[in-house]
A = this chain, B = another copy of it.
Amino acid sequence: MAARVVDERTQLLQRPASEIILRTHTEPTEDLKQERRRATFNFEELAYVLNGGKELLEKKQRFAEILAKTSWGDKSRRYFLGREEEYVGGLRAALGIWEKMKTENLSLEDGALMRTLVDFPGGLELHIGMFIPSIMSQGSSEQQAKWMPLCMGLKIIGTYAQTELGHGTFVRGLETTATYDRQTQEFVIHSPTLTATKWWPGGLGKTATHAVVMARLMVPDERGAMRDYGPHGFIAQLRDLDSHLPLPGVTIGDIGPKVGYNGVDNGYLSFDHVRIPRDQMLMRFAKVTPEGRYVPPPPSNSKASYATMVFVRADIVKNAGSSLGRAVTIATRYAAVRRQTAPAPGERELQVLDYQNCAATLLPLIASSYALSFMGEEMMSMYRRFEQDRDRGEFGALPELHALSSGLKALCTWITADGIEECRRTCGGHGYSKLSGLPTLFQNYVQNVTWEGDNNVMCLQTARYLIKALAGVQQGKRAAGSAAYLNDVVSELAPGSRCAAACDECWLRPDVAAAALRHAAARSVASATATLAAATGGKGLAFEGRAWSENTVDSIRAAKAHCTFVLHQTFVDSVARLEAAASVSPPAGGQGQSVGADTAAVLRQLAALFALEQMERSGGVAALLEDGYMSAAQAAALRRRHRLLLAALRPNAVALVDAFAFPDYLLNSALGRADGDVYRGLLEMARGSPLNATQEGPAWPEVLRPVLAARSRL
C-alpha cells in the first residue's frame, strides 16, 4: 500500500489504527557499516588505483585535514555566502594556497591537489590556467623573461580575453581589432561594435590587471591598404596597479551571476583605441616587424596547438570521472542509509538503494564514473605517447587523437553533468538542499558541456573525422587508431553480420558487448555518411555549408556511438591490464598499478553494466535491431542481464564509491559523509543558515511586524 498513499494527506487521517505501521528507528551509521561488511573485494586496492597509489592517497587525506583548519580553506559557511563574499572568499583561498606553496615550497602538483580539495574557484583561475600558459606557449623568450616573474610574483594578475558578446564558438568571427601604427610602433586595440565587447573571461570583472586579448591583427600593406590577418594574441594592461582603476579607454565590469561558479568574476571589456607597445603582441610564432611586415608562423606550430587542445581535453575527461565520482559517492551513501516504506507491517523500512529503480540509476552511474576515470588516465598516456612522437617530428597520430579527444570531451561531460543531476534527484527532497553538496557540484560543473567548445560542435569535429575516414577506406586508405574498425566496415555491415550473444550470460562477455558497440558505431558512421552524401546530391561530401549544418543530428549520433565504443573498450582493457600486473606489482604494495582477482571480477561486472546501460539508453538497441544485427531474443536477454547485473553489483555499491576516497572535507555534504550520520549532519549545517542569525528573521522589523504585531493574543 505504501507507494499508493504518497502525500495523500487527508486520506491518511482516516486509516484505522490496525493499518498503521509503527515507526522503526533508522540507524544510518549502522547501515553504512553493514554495507561495508557486505563488500566482496578490498576497496583499498581500488582506492590506490584511483588515487595514484597509497602515498598520494595519504597526502590527499593529510592535505584535507590541514586545509580544513585554515581560515580561507574552512568550508563551514561555504553554502551561505552571498555573491560578494563568494568572490572575496575565492580570492582569499587562491592566495592562501599560493602563499602556502611558497612558504612550504610545495610542487605544482601539490598546489593543484590543494586547489582541487579547497574547490573554491575564484578570480585567479585564468591567471593560472590561461594567462601564464599563453605567455609560456606563445610568448617569445624575451617576452617570457619579462612577464613570467611578474606573473609568478603576483605583481600582476592576468586573464585571457577571447570570447565576445557576439562570438564564442566561432572564433574567426571575433570583431576586436589590433591595428599596427608604424609611426609609433604601437598596436591600437579597439572594440568597433557592441558585439565586439569581450564577455565571459574569468577574473576580468574586478580582479585582473592584465589580459591576453585575442584581436584581429590589422596591418597596412605596402600600398597602405589595411590587411586583416585574423585573431592574434596581445598582452594589454587593463587596470592601474596602484589604484586598481581601469586605464583610460578601457571599460570593464562583472557580467553578473551565473548558474554557479559565482566566486569567479567573469567580466566584460571594451577598448576605445587603446595603444600598447609593439612588443606586447605575443611573438613566439607570428610576428610584426617594427617597419610593419607580417611574418607568418611556421606551419608545424598549428600541430603543436592541436596538441595543447588534446591535453586540455584529456584533463576535462579525467575531471569528469572524479566529478561524477563525487556525486555517486554522496547519492549512494545516502541511498544506503535512507529508509522508506516497510515491505510489510512490522518490518523495517527498506533502504532506498534496494528499490530497483534507485539501483538502476546509481549503479550505472558508478560504472560511468569508473569508465570516465580510466578514460582520463588513458588519454593522458595517449598524450604522453604523442609528445614522444612529436619530439621525433612524428605527427601522424595527431589527427585521430585530436578528433577522438573532441568527441570524448563532449560525451564524458554530458554523462557527468546529467549524472550529477540524476544523483541529486535520487536523494529526494534533501537532494534539493545545498547542504547535500550536489546542487553546487552540478551548478559549477554543468558549464563543462559548453566551454572549451560546445559539446555538439565537438561531436561534429569527431564526426567529420570519422566520415572522412570511412570515405578514405572506400578509396582504399587505412583508418587508424580508434577508428581502425572502419577498415572492416564492409564485412561489419554485411547483411549476414549478427550478434554473437547466444545466451543471457553472453552479455557479460567483454568481446560480445564490444562487438555490439562497435557494430552500432560502424552503422551510425555509415548512416551519417549516407545522409550527408544524399544532402549534397552526389556532389561528394561537404563538411561545411548548409548540406553539413542541416544534417548534424546523424553526425552527432555517430560521434557519440564511436566514443561510447572507445569508453567501453578502454574500461575493459584497463581492468585486464590491472589484473595482469598483479604478479609484478602486488595490489597490497599500494603502487596502485594492479588489482587482485576479486576486485577485477567486480570491475568486469561494472564494465559490462556500462556497456548494457549505454546500449539501452542511447538508442543503441534500437539501431542494432533495425540493422538486423541483434534479434528480439537477444535484446530481451540483454535487458534481463542488465537487471541481474544491478542485483549482482548491489552489495558492492558502497565499497565502489568508498574507493574514490573523497575526504568529507572535499564532499562537504550532509548526505555523503563517510560515517552516514546524515540527519545530524543536516541539522548541524542548517543551524548556520544566515536567516538563523536572529530568531525573528530579517523580515520581522520592517515587513512582518507592521502586519502582525500589536495584535491581541488569540
User: Which one, A453-461, A503-511, A580-588, is touching chain B?
Assistant: A453-461
A353 to B187, CA, bound (A): 37
Is A163 interfacial (CB 8 A cutoff)?
Answer: yes
Contact of A14 among B23, B157, B286, B428 (CB under 8 A): B286
- Whether the Cβ atoms of A689 and B254 lie closer than 8 Å is yes
A621 to B453, CA, bound (A): 32
Shortest beta-carbon distance, A213 to chain B, in Å? 12
- Whether the Cβ atoms of B20 and A228 lie closer than 8 Å is yes
Known: A8-B171, A154-B707. 15 other contacts (CB 8 A): A4-B464, A9-B162, A13-B232, A14-B302, A87-B697, A88-B699, A91-B704, A168-B340, A169-B340, A170-B349, A206-B697, A241-B708, A241-B709, A259-B432, A357-B456
Contact of A357 among B87, B246, B253, B556 (CB under 8 A): B556
- Whether the Cβ atoms of A697 and B193 lie closer than 8 Å is no
A704 to B26, CA, bound (A): 50
- Whether the Cβ atoms of A643 and B553 lie closer than 8 Å is yes
Chain A residues 335 to 351 lying within 8 A of chain B, measured CB to CB, are 340-344, 349-350
Is A82 interfacial (CB 8 A cutoff)?
Answer: yes
Chain B residues, Cβ within 8 Å of A296: 14, 16
Chain B residues, Cβ within 8 Å of A182: none
Is A5 interfacial (CB 8 A cutoff)?
Answer: yes
Is A698 interfacial (CB 8 A cutoff)?
Answer: yes
Is A668 interfacial (CB 8 A cutoff)?
Answer: no
The 5 A-B pairs with the shortest beta carbon distances in the complex, nearest first, are A206-B697, A10-B305, A254-B691, A82-B82, A622-B622
Chain A residues 678 to 713 lying within 8 A of chain B, measured CB to CB, are 679-680, 682-683, 685-692, 695-700, 702-705, 707-711, 713
Chain B residues, Cβ within 8 Å of A651: none
Chain A residues 213 to 227 lying within 8 A of chain B, measured CB to CB, are 214, 216, 227
Chain B residues, Cβ within 8 Å of A142: none
- Whether the Cβ atoms of B699 and A549 lie closer than 8 Å is no
Contact of A205 among B154, B458, B679, B691 (CB under 8 A): B691
- Whether the Cβ atoms of B88 and A698 lie closer than 8 Å is yes
- Whether the Cβ atoms of A10 and B137 lie closer than 8 Å is yes
Is A425 interfacial (CB 8 A cutoff)?
Answer: yes
- Whether the Cβ atoms of B691 and A206 lie closer than 8 Å is yes
Shortest beta-carbon distance, A4 to chain B, in Å? 6
Max chain B Cβ within 10 angstroms of own Cβ: one of A3, A7, A240, A695? A3
- Whether the Cβ atoms of A700 and B244 lie closer than 8 Å is yes
Is A290 interfacial (CB 8 A cutoff)?
Answer: no
- Whether the Cβ atoms of A17 and B228 lie closer than 8 Å is yes
Chain B residues, Cβ within 8 Å of A628: 632
Shortest beta-carbon distance, A346 to chain B, in Å? 12
- Whether the Cβ atoms of B458 and A698 lie closer than 8 Å is no
Shortest beta-carbon distance, A435 to chain B, in Å? 6
- Whether the Cβ atoms of B622 and A683 lie closer than 8 Å is no
Answer whether A356 and B450 are a contact pair too, CB < 8 Å, given A691-B206, A697-B205.
no
Is A248 interfacial (CB 8 A cutoff)?
Answer: no
Is A433 interfacial (CB 8 A cutoff)?
Answer: yes
Chain A residues 160 to 186 lying within 8 A of chain B, measured CB to CB, are 162-163, 165-175
User: Which one, A103-111, A194-202, A325-333, A381-389, is touching chain B?
Assistant: A194-202
- Whether the Cβ atoms of B343 and A546 lie closer than 8 Å is yes
A216 to B304, CA, bound (A): 70
Answer whether A434 and B137 are a contact pair too, CB < 8 Å, given A172-B12, A356-B550.
no
Answer whether A461 and B306 are a contact pair too, CB < 8 Å, given A343-B546, A450-B428, A695-B246.
no
Contact of A305 among B9, B156, B168, B549 (CB under 8 A): B9
Is A394 interfacial (CB 8 A cutoff)?
Answer: no
- Whether the Cβ atoms of A200 and B621 lie closer than 8 Å is no
User: Closest residue of chain B to A678, judged by CB?
Assistant: B165
User: Closest residue of chain B to A354, judged by CB?
Assistant: B549
Chain B residues, Cβ within 8 Å of A15: 172, 230
Is A391 interfacial (CB 8 A cutoff)?
Answer: no
Answer whether A551 and B356 are a contact pair too, CB < 8 Å, given A193-B25, A265-B691, A627-B632.
yes
Contact of A258 among B1, B432, B709 (CB under 8 A): B432
Shortest beta-carbon distance, A420 to chain B, in Å? 12
